[in-house]
Structure 1
């Protein structure tokens, strides 16, 4: 088993102040508040009109497709989403923290001796193409998000988004975490339902740190906590309502610690993440040394 430490991140309101789709709305001159207001009204609308239940986490994807069909998102395709991802604005320190934490482990000779590595993953209900297009993607080992496929618009002869093919919601985030645990995408033939003993899993849960912003991530927080991993919640600077929300999560035992969504060096959030990573790495070293101790015999010495 590889000695991998995994930081698993939510995206919206965790790494960015707001929603990743903001550059998309700006590109097309769409009022983002009006868009989300329309999205929030859809579950009740469809239940009343058609008697169906709606997944509140992913219904916005259908609304994006409606905007494509009605020309509000004219000729929107995956390439454009990817390009717009380059305009996502991150919280302070995010783009520095990711490579710094990787280097912190890589540059330590003891950690190197025991093949300890650090990887970053993003598990988001947002758009994976936008995340892949962001400057953060170069530091990320895997992204779980929502995806569309395209078709040709016969009027414009251009590619445009046409169908939803993959979704992540706040419950299926736990599936993504199990896939990281087992090494899906890193090991050929391994799927989420593959039966693997704990020692054969690529990233042990106890080597995971999950970082997110609120109650919608409770299933993921609960999974990581129950398996011996670490959990951390963030809130925007000066936002009292968000502060009370993460404090409630701490009181309820949902998260182990929280701090402002500022990842700059020497902030509380930076220091907690840094030291939790080092604690995990040191524990791995101790475990590896304990495995070797039965085979290490004392060196012969001269008798006095």
Structure 2
């Protein structure tokens, strides 16, 4: 029996305001929007760069040129500790665990992050301890401690790779440095968390492959939007029009908010399904 539920989150603009833009402003780049429009967007539209390596490369360049202080792991972590979160995020995990425990005490509830953001920021946030694992984009640092290259990029279909890590149980230190292990074929009995027992919460175009994969296999894809970013509402609503998500909510996780209530209902429903399957299995 598979008695684990996985709730998987994107991070930036899903659980928190964009931490990368926040880091740039914290580093002294007051008009961070110009960084995206004048530095990153031309690489994407004129030179056919992928969006994630484009922004990571431009950040390294900004640190080298003196536009911002050099990027180091310590500076990124310092910002991560300060970074704001969306309302209710810090208490969400305990509420969802309680909901599952009340429904079916044997079911395990696990939380994960799969993000195009910067891992050294996300692992320093106040909620990092809530996650079984955080997968995010990474810098490589030189002998002087400064970022010199991109070590990992997570974007678009790269994100689905890590849903397969969760599905197959390829989590924790024993599976670090083994990138090809995710291609290993497992029997249905060896699957640790079926896709139908996953919830994915995201906000942007890089999350579409995860939305689609879970939708296809009976999981629960949920789109969120920042109610303060009206410029992004149209793209968020498009996820609903295209049938990519089960629901669309403002990124407010406070107790009794629509999003919080929907997540509670979702984990309770999955826990109930697991309980029924267990009784059937036992005869």
* TM-score normalised by the chain length of structure 1: 0.85
Distance, in Å, in 2 between the alignment partners of 1:246 and 1:26 is 25
1:187 to partner: Cα distance: 8.5
| SS of corresponding position for 1:291 | helix
The aligned runs of 1:21-170 (5 Å cut-off) are 21-30=20-29, 31-37=31-37, 38-45=39-46, 47=47, 53-105=48-100, 107-108=101-102, 111-112=104-105, 115-153=106-144, 159-170=145-156
Change (3 A) 1:188 1:138: closer
Q: Distance in 1 between matches of 2:277 and 2:4?
A: 13
Residues 1:5 and 2:2 are matched in the alignment: no
Per mean C-alpha deviation after superposition, the further-off stretch among 212-221 and 33-42 is: 212-221
Query: RMSD value over aligned CA atoms?
Result: 2.0
The alignment partner of 1:58 has SS state of helix
Does structure 2 conserve the Cα–Cα contact (< 8 Å) formed by 1:61 and 1:164? yes
Q: Indicate how the Cα distance of structure 1 residues 20 and 238 shifts in structure 2: closer, same or farther if over 3 A, else same.
A: closer
Q: 1:243 & 1:165 partners in 2: Cα distance? A: 32
C-alpha distance 238-64 of structure 1, shift in aligned 2 (>3 A)? closer
Taking a change above 3 Å as real, the CA distance of residues 151 and 57 of structure 1, as seen in their structure-2 partners, is closer
TM-fit CA distance, 1:238: 6.1
Asked whether the equivalents of residues 58 and 125 of structure 1 are also in contact (C-alpha less than 8 Å), the reply is: no
Alignment match, 1:296: none
Could you tell me how far 1:197 is from its partner in structure 2? 1.4
Q: Does 1:278 align with 2:268?
A: yes
Q: Does the CA contact (< 8 Å) of 1:28 and 1:72 recur in 2?
A: no
What's the counterpart of residue 234 of structure 1? 224
- Please give the per-residue CA displacement for 1:138-162, whole angstroms capped at 9, x wherever unaligned: 1111111111121134xxxxx2111
| Larger-Rg structure | 1
* Larger displacement relative to structure 2 (218-227 or 185-194): 185-194
Q: Deviations over 1:61-120 (max 9, x none)?
A: 111111222233434211221121011111111111122212333x43x622xx311111
Q: Could you say if the C-alpha distance between residues 187 and 133 of structure 1 is closer, same or farther in structure 2, counting changes exceeding 3 Å? A: closer
Structure 2 residue matching 1:255: 3-state secondary structure: coil
In structure 2, the residue matched to 1:204 is 194
Greater relative CO, 1 or 2 (CA 8 Å, sep 6+): 2
Instruction: Say which is worse superposed, 24-33 or 185-194, in terms of deviation.
Output: 185-194
User: Which structure 1 residue ranges, 5 or more long, are not aligned?
Assistant: 48-52, 154-158, 294-304
Q: Is the 8 A contact 1:144 1:176 kept in 2?
A: yes
Q: Separation in 1 of the partners of 2:231 and 2:70?
A: 39
The alpha-carbon deviation at position 12 of structure 1 amounts to 1.4
Aligned length: 277
Mapped to 2, the partners of 1:59 and 1:199 lie a distance apart of 41
Q: Is the 8 A contact 2:138 2:150 kept in 1?
A: yes
